Amino acid sequence: MEIIRTQNLIKDYNLGKIKVRALSGIDLSIRKGEFVAIMGPSGSGKSTLMHIIGCLDRPSEGQYYLDEILVSKMPRSALATVRNRKIGFVFQSFNLLPHLNILKNVELPLMYGGMSAGKRKLRAREILEQVGLGDRLRHKPTELSGGQRQRVAIARAIVNDPAILLADEPTGNLDSQAGGDILEMFNNLHKTGNTVIMVTHDQAIANRADRIIRIMDGKIVDGDTP
DSSP 8-state secondary structure symbol assigned to residue 21: E
- Angle of the 102-112 helix axis to the 117-130 helix axis, nearest 10: 130
Q: How many other β-carbons are positioned within 10 Å of the β-carbon of residue 222? A: 11
49 sits in which H/E element: helix 46-53
Shortest reach from residue 208's CB to another protein, in Å = 25
**Rounded to an integer, what distance in angstroms lies between the CA atom of residue 81 and that of residue 77?**
7
Which lies closer to another protein via its Cβ, residue 80 or residue 212? 80
Shortest reach from residue 161's CB to another protein, in Å = 13
Which lies closer to another protein via its Cβ, residue 158 or residue 223? 158
Shortest reach from residue 112's CB to another protein, in Å = 4
Shortest reach from residue 81's CB to another protein, in Å = 6
**Rounded to an integer, what distance in angstroms lies between the CA atom of residue 45 and that of residue 11?**
9
Could you please report the per-residue DSSP string of 182-213? HHHHHHHHHHTT-EEEEE-S-HHHHTTSSEEE
Which lies closer to another protein via its Cβ, residue 4 or residue 208? 4
Which lies closer to another protein via its Cβ, residue 104 or residue 208? 104
Shortest reach from residue 60's CB to another protein, in Å = 14
Residues that bind another protein (CB under 8 A): 51, 54, 56-57, 76-77, 80-81, 83-85, 89, 91, 95-97, 99, 108-109, 111-114, 156, 160
Which lies closer to another protein via its Cβ, residue 114 or residue 118? 114
